[in-house]
Structure 1
Amino acid sequence: MVVLHMNTKKNLVKVFTTLGVVALGVSTTAAVANADMVYTVQSGDTLSSISYKFAKDNSLISEIAKDNNLSDVNQLHVGQKLLIKGNGEIASLNSSSQNAAASQNNDDKNTDQKASQSANLSSSEQAAKEWIAQRESGGSYTAQNGVHYGRYQLDLAYLGGDLSPQHQEEVAQQYMQNRYGSWQAAQAHWVANGWW
Structure 2
Amino acid sequence: MKSLKTVLLSTAVVAGFGILLGGKEALADEVYTVQPGDTLSAISYNFFGTVDAIDQIVKVNDITDKNLIFVGEELILPTDGTTPVAAAPAQTYNEPAPVVEQAPAPVVNNYSSNVSGSEAEAKEWIAFKESSGSYTATNGQYYGRYQLTNTYLNGDYSPENQERVADQYVAQRYGSWVAAQQFWLANGWY
Normalising to structure 2: TM-score of the pair?
0.50
Partners of 2:176 and 2:137 in 1: how far apart? 24
How far residue 142 of structure 1 moved from its aligned partner, in angstroms, is: 0.6
Cα 1:176–1:159 shift into 2, 3 Å: same
Letter of the aligned partner of 1:137 in structure 2?
A: S
Q: Is 1:140 equivalent to 2:140 in the alignment?
A: no
How far residue 157 of structure 1 moved from its aligned partner, in angstroms, is: 2.0
Partners of 1:155 and 1:34 in 2: how far apart? 24
Name the residue aligned to 1:7.
Answer: none
Q: Is 1:125 equivalent to 2:119 in the alignment?
A: yes
Question: Which secondary structure state, in structure 1, belongs to the residue aligned with residue 157 of structure 2?
Answer: coil
Cα contact 1:142–1:149 (8 A) shared by 2: yes
Name the residue aligned to 1:162.
Answer: 156
Cα contact 2:67–2:132 (8 A) shared by 1: no
Partners of 1:142 and 1:173 in 2: how far apart? 18
Question: Which secondary structure state, in structure 2, belongs to the residue aligned with residue 189 of structure 1?
Answer: helix
Question: Which secondary structure state, in structure 2, belongs to the residue aligned with residue 61 of structure 1?
Answer: strand
Asked which structure has the greater CA Rg, the reply is: 2
Cα 1:136–1:154 shift into 2, 3 Å: same
Partners of 1:126 and 1:39 in 2: how far apart? 26
Percentage of pairs with the same residue: 47
How far residue 159 of structure 1 moved from its aligned partner, in angstroms, is: 1.2
How far residue 122 of structure 1 moved from its aligned partner, in angstroms, is: 3.0
Cα 1:128–1:175 shift into 2, 3 Å: same
Letter of the aligned partner of 1:134 in structure 2?
A: F
Number of residues of Structure 1 aligned to a counterpart in Structure 2: 118
Cα contact 2:107–2:159 (8 A) shared by 1: no
Cα contact 1:143–1:151 (8 A) shared by 2: yes
- Could you report, residue by residue, the CA deviation over 1:65-84 in whole angstroms, capped at 9, with x for unpaired residues? xxxx88689x995x94789x
Q: Which has the higher helix share?
A: 1
Partners of 1:123 and 1:72 in 2: how far apart? 40
Cα contact 1:39–1:82 (8 A) shared by 2: no
Name the residue aligned to 1:61.
Answer: 76
Cα contact 1:37–1:145 (8 A) shared by 2: no
Over 6 Å off, 4+ runs: none
Cα 1:189–1:70 shift into 2, 3 Å: farther
Cα contact 2:122–2:177 (8 A) shared by 1: yes
Question: Which secondary structure state, in structure 2, belongs to the residue aligned with residue 109 of structure 1?
Answer: coil
Cα contact 1:39–1:81 (8 A) shared by 2: no
Q: Which of the numbers 168, 171, 179 marks the counterpart of 1:177?
A: 171
Partners of 1:70 and 1:174 in 2: how far apart? 45
